[in-house]
Amino acid sequence: MKKVLAIIIAVVVGFGGGFFVAKSMQNDNGKGHYDLEVIKEQVKEVSELATLEDRYTLTVPYTSESKNLWKTNIKIPFSEKSMVAQYDATLKLGLKLTDDNYDVKADADTITVTVPHSVILSHEIDEDSWILLDKKNGLFNLLKPEDDSDLRKYAKKNALKELDMDALYQQADENAEEQLKNFLGAANPDAEIIVEFE
């Protein structure tokens, strides 16, 4: 009887120990069989990921009037100067990751990556495409080189109002999700990759 009891105890202890080892292997620091530090490094390699490039053409008007009539803030009559430019530009959107703005979690079969929403990575005017369609000097208010520089700055700001930025950001996020899934899936083929935005 004692021998049977000893065998039963050994089986129970052995089963319990095996279950504990299996459980610890599956949930080692919440990593499952994936090494979180390795995955974080894989995501960190992305750093800055351009996921959408939008090339557009716009025509933009620019006006400026002289003020300080008799040292006041009153506009000087007939002093308005203006330019109208047409140009091509390229807008790039995508992920910009830092050490503390993304997170990675994993369990036995799922890797979840949380990243920020897409941002503007670059916005450049094609200088070869820049054409002044019209320009007009104001009375005692002549166009200057800095007006051309101001027009370029204004053109970029104005473009963000003219373009459907909500749709572009959404498309950039969708592309980022797909690219991250492909990137991490290639390195971790057995895992389901989930990408979340915050």
Number of Cβ within 10 Å of residue 81's Cβ equals 19
pLDDT at 5: 36
* pLDDT in the model for residue 21: 30
193 and 121, same domain (yes or no)? yes
CA–CA separation, 46 and 39 (whole Å):
11
HSE value, Cβ hemisphere, 13 Å, CA-based, for 3: 0
- 106 and 163 share a domain? yes
- Compute the mean pLDDT over every residue in the chain, rounded to the nearest whole number: 78
Domain that holds residue 23: 1-29
pTM beyond 0.75: the answer is: no
Is there a single domain that holds both residue 74 and residue 159?
Answer: yes
pLDDT of residue 177: 96
139 and 97 in one domain? Answer: yes
Let me know whether 48 and 84 are in one domain: yes
Considering only CA atoms, give the Rg of the chain.
30
Q: Is the same domain home to 99 and 43?
A: yes
Shared domain check, 155 and 66: yes
The verdict on 61 and 13 lying in the same domain is no
> Across residues 101-109, what is the average pLDDT?
90
How far lies 149's CA from each of 63, 83, 133, 136, 168, in Å?
13, 12, 16, 16, 27
CA 67 to chain centre: 41
The verdict on 82 and 52 lying in the same domain is yes
Average pLDDT of 83-107? 92
Residues 97 and 5 in one domain: no
Residues 12 and 100 in one domain: no
pLDDT exceeds 80 at position 184 = yes
pLDDT in tens, 115-166: 999 999 999 999 999 998 877 775 665 667 777 888 889 999 999 999 999 9
